Structure 1
Amino acid sequence: MVSLLFCALLLGGLQVESAPSADEILFLPGLTKQPMFHQYSGYLNVSESKYLHYWFVESQVDPSTSPVVLWLNGGPGCSSLYGLLTEHGPFLIQPDGSSLEYNPYSWNMVANVLYLESPAGVGFSYSDDKNYVTNDTEVALNNYLALKEFFRLFPEYSKNDFFITGESYGGVYVLTLAEIVIEDSSINLKGIAVGNGLTSYESNQNSLIYFAYYHGLLGVRLWSNLQTFCCLKGQCSFYGNPNVNCTERVTEATNIVYNLGLNIYNLYAPCSGGTLGRYEEDQTVIHHSGIPFPKLPAHIQGGEKPLHPVKTQKKMWLELPCINSTASRIFLNNPYVRNALNIPPEAPEWGMFSSEVFEHYGRIVTDMTKQYLKLLSALTYRILVYNGDVDMACNFLGNQWFVDALQQKLQVNRRAWLYNDGNSEQIGGFVKEFSNIAFLTVRGAGHMVPTDNPRAALTMFTRFLKKQPF
C-alpha cells in the first residue's frame, strides 16, 4: 500500500486549478443541439506508457454539489462507452450509427458521471508497448491511479461525494478498487453500486441451474437427474461437483442456457443476429461475464491464468452473443467523432469488447465476500447490489444468496419497491435492506438494467445516491 500511494503521489505531483480545457468536448457530432452541460474526453495516464480513456459528463443540475460517480462496464474487455451510449448516458446512439438522441433518464440528471475504459486495450484505452496482459490486482491499481489523476485534473470535484459503480465483471472491478480507495482519505467515497455483478462463481453457477429450471428451460427428466446426481439431503452442488454424472447433467443444462440460441443477457429478449449462426460466431466470448464452464472449476487455482482462454482472433474486438453494437462502433470510429473526443491517431479502433484483453486476462478473485465485508465493517459506506431479474449471465438468485450470506443485520424485510412509469405507480421489483447494504431486483430487466427499464433504473439510482428509502 505504501508503494501504491507513492505512485499516486508521483502522478499527482503537478497541481491544476480546474478542468483541463484541452479535453473539453466543444462540439459532438450526431446531436441536433449541443448540450448545456460541460463534458470532457481525454486520457488518464496510469504509467509512462499506459493511457486510460475517459468521458466525463457533468451533472445537469448543480455540478458543484452533485456527487461524482465512476462507471465501469465489465467483461473483462467491455467498454464503458457502450454503457454511456446505450444504457444511462446523456445521449443514446440511434440505429443509423450517426445520430444521437437525448436520454431523459440519463444518470447525469442527478450526478457527474465518469465513464472509464479499463483496462488498457479496451475501447480507446491503450499502452505504447501494446502489452495487454493483466489481472484483477493490476486493474484495481490502475483504476485507482486513473482516479487520482482524474481528481488532479478536476480538483474542483475532489471534495464531492464519490461513488463507484459498475456492471457484470464490474462487480470485481468495483470492489477491488473500493478496497484500495477506502485507504485514501483524500477521496470522499460514500458508497458503491453493482448491477448484475459477478459476486461469486459458485453462487452464480449453482443458482443458474435453479433459474433455468424454474423459467421452463429444463425438462423434468434432466431436472430429476440433476437432483439425483448433484444433490444430497436437499443440498445441491452444481459447481465443481466431483460426480461425473452430475458434471454431465450440468453440462447439458448449461448448453441449453448458453448454446441453444437464447439471449443470456435477457431471457425474454430476441437474439440479435439470430440463433445458430450467431452462436457459432460468438462461441469464444459466450462466458465473458465470468460464468465458468462446468468442467473448469479446478482451473481457478491457476491464479494468473485466464479461466477461459479463447482462440486467437484476427480482429482486436468481437461482438457479444445476441448483442448488436454496430451503431456504437460506427459512431465512435467516425473520424469527426474521434476528433471531437480528442482521440489521438495512435489510439486503436473502438470496439465494444476487446478479445485481446479478454484472452490475456488473469482472473484472481472468484468470490467477493472478503471485499464486501471489509467495506461493511467500516459502517460508513452505502452499498447497493441490484439485478435485472431475467438476466442469465449474472442471475438475481445467485446475488440474492450472496448478499444473504454476508449475514448483515436486517433493517427492512423484502418488499416491493415502486416507481412512476409516467402514468402511474408501478412495481419496479423487490428490495431487501440490511445495515448499509441492500439487494434490489428490477422486474423484467436483463443484464443491462438501464437499457431495459430506464425509468426504474434512474429512480433506483437517485434514491441510492440521496440515501432515500427504495
Structure 2
Amino acid sequence: RLLQFLFLLLHLKQLFNGAEADLVTSLPGLSETPTFQHYSGYLQAGSGKYFHYWFVESQNNPSTDPFILWLNGGPGCSSLEGMLSENGPFHLHDDATVYLNPYSWNLVANVLYLESPAGVGFSYSTTGNYSTSDPQVAEDNYNALLDFFNKFPSFASNNFYIFAESYGGVYGPSLAQYIISNSANINLKGVGVGNGMTNYALNDQSLIYFGYYHGLFSESLWNQMNQACCSGGSCNFYSNSDSNCMNAIEAAIPGVPMCINGTAMYEWLNNPEVRSALHIPTSVQSWELCSHTVGTLYQRTYTDMTSFYQSLLQKNLQLLVYNGDVDMACNFLGAKWFVDSLNLQALTQYGPWYFEDQIAGYVQQYKNLTLLTVKGAGHMVPEYKPGPALQLLKNYLANSY
C-alpha cells in the first residue's frame, strides 16, 4: 500500500512537470480503447535539440515493471518504425487503420520510443544543423533521458534497459557507457542489441560465408573469390584492395535496394489529425521513415564496439545479442564471431530455445551476456517473428532460457 501511495504521489508530480500535456487521449484510426496510458511529446536533448518521444505504459503493472528505451538505427531512421511495425502496441493495416498488437512489448514493460538524433522523424533542431556523430548522439540521448525522468519521476527507480536495433548496435552500448560514466540516477540493468552493428570488419567478412552457405551465389564465384581474396590460408573480404577480389565481392553481394513498405506509416503519421493527437507542432517537418539528410551528414565514429562491451560487462550489466538468422544486413554469424572475440566463459552449451513448444532459435549464455538467434527472422526480429520476439524479451528479463 505504501509503494502504491508513493507511486501515486510521484504520478501527481508528473502532472506539474509537463507529462499531463503529453497524454494522448485518442488516436485517429483506432476503434478500440487501450487499457494503458500513453504519452507523446518532446524531450530536450541539448541546446536547441528536441527529440520526439512516444511512451507507452505497461499493460501489467507500470509502477514496478521494467522500463525499456527502444532505439531504431539507420543512422537516421525513426524509432516509430519499432512502435508501429515491430514491438509497439499500435500497428497499422495497409489502409492506415490502427489495431492493437497482441505481441506488444508493453504487455510486460513500460516502453519509451525515442526518435533520435535531431532531424529524424518528428525530432528537430532549432538551428537547422543536422550533422552529428556517434559520441554526440550518445550525449543527446542521455540528455533526453534525463528530461524524460524529470517529466516522469515515478519511473526513475524502475529497472531500466536499453534495446536497440541495427545501427542501434552503436547507439545502445554507447548510451549505456555514457550513463555509467556520468553517474546518472538511472537504474540501468542491461542492454539488448538486435541485429546490431557491432564490428564492421566481422560483419562484412562473415557476410560472404553467410551468402555462400545459403546458396546465394555460385560455386564458380566462390572459387573466384577464394583465388582473388585469399592467401596463406586466410581470406580478406573486408578491406582487400585487389581489384579482382573487389569485383568478385560486388558480383556476390550486389547491394539490392531494401524493399520496405512504409506507406501506411508515412500516410498515417502525416495525417494532420494524427499529428495533432501526438502533439506535433505544425511547424515540424513531415515524418519520414529515414532521414536522408541525417544519414548523409552522420559521422560514423565507432566501427568496433568491443571496448564498450568490455566496459559494460565489468559493470555486471546483463547484455543480450540477438539476431534473426536470415538477416543479411547484420548477419548472425558476424554477431557470433564478435561475441567469440570477447573471450567470455560459456555457462551453457549452444542449444535450442522455444516458443509455444517449437524451436524458436538457438541460445548460449555467458557470464553477463546471452547470444541468441531467432529462427526465420530477418533484420527486424519483432516484425517478422512477433511471438518469439516477445518470448525472448520475457526470457531475458527473467534470465531464463
Shorter-chain TM-score above 0.5: yes
What SS does the corresponding residue of 2:393 show, helix, strand or coil? Answer: helix
Contact 2:198 2:338 in 1 (8 A): yes
Tell me if structure 1 keeps the 8 A contact 2:191–2:320: yes
- Please point out which of 327, 330, 351 is paired with 2:264: 327
Map of 1:42-441 to 2, 5 A cutoff? Answer: 42-97=41-96, 99-183=97-181, 184-255=183-254, 258-259=255-256, 279=257, 321-378=258-315, 380-420=316-356, 425-441=357-373
Secondary structure, aligned partner of 1:216: coil
Deviations 1:118-166 (Å, cap 9, x if unpaired)? Answer: 0000000001121101111111100000011111110000000000011
On the 8 A contact 1:43/1:53 being kept in 2, the answer is yes
CA contact (8 A) 1:206 1:239 kept: yes
- 108-117 vs 41-50, which moves further: 41-50
2:396 alignment partner in structure 1: 464
**Equivalent residue number for residue 8 of structure 2:** none
Counterpart mapping for 1:434-453 below 5 A: 434-453=366-385
Residues 326-377 of structure 1 show CA distances to partners (whole Å, capped at 9, x for unaligned) of 0001111111110110001111100101001011100010010010011012
1:352 is matched by which residue type in structure 2?
L
Letter in 2 for 1:182: I
TM superposition shift of 1:457? 0.4
Distance 2:398 2:289 in 1: 32
State the distance in 2 between where 1:397 and 1:239 align.
Answer: 15
When residues 48 and 364 of structure 1 are mapped into structure 2, their CA distance, relative to the original with a 3 A threshold, is closer
Give distance in 2, aligned partners of 1:93 and 1:132.
29
Amino acid at match of 2:241: P
Gap regions ≥5 residues in structure 1: 1-15, 260-278, 280-320
- Separation in structure 1 between the aligned mates of residue 29 and residue 202 of structure 2, nearest angstrom: 43
Identity of aligned residues (%): 51
1:441-469 Cα offsets, whole Å, 9 max, x none, are: 000000011111111000001111222x2
| 2:13 alignment partner in structure 1 | 17
Alpha-carbon contact 1:28-1:34 (below 8 Å) kept: no
Which TM-score applies when normalising by structure 2?
0.94
Partner SS for 1:46 = strand
Partner SS for 2:14: coil
Contact map agreement 2:40 2:54 (CA 8 A) in 1: yes
Code of the residue aligned with 1:349 in structure 2: it is: S
Distance of 1:251 and 1:27 partners within structure 2 = 49
Partner SS state of residue 411, structure 1: coil
Work out the CA distance in 1 between the residues paired with 2:215 and 2:117. Answer: 38
Instruction: Judge conservation of contact 2:68–2:162 (CA < 8 Å) in 1.
Output: yes
Letter in 2 for 1:148: L
CA distance in 1, matches of 2:391, 2:343: 27
Q: Alpha-carbon deviations, 1:67-101, whole Å to 9, x = none?
A: 1100000000110001100001001111002x111
Say which SS state the counterpart of residue 394 (structure 1) adopts: coil
Aligned to 2:4: none
Number of paired residues?
Answer: 386
Aligned partners of 1:185 and 1:323: how far apart in 2?
Answer: 38
The amino acid across from 2:14 in the alignment is: S
Matched residue type, 1:362: Q
Secondary structure at the counterpart of residue 193 of structure 1:
strand
Q: In 1, distance between residues paired with 2:146 and 2:46?
A: 12
- TM-score, scaled relative to structure 1: 0.81
For residue 461 of structure 1, give the secondary structure of its aligned residue in structure 2: helix
Report the Cα distance in structure 1 between the residues aligned to 2:310 and 2:233, rounded to whole angstroms: 28
**Alpha-carbon distance in structure 1 between the residues aligned to 2:167 and 2:296:** 15
- The separation in 1 between residues aligned to 2:119 and 2:235, in whole angstroms, is 40
Post-superposition offset of 1:185: 4.6
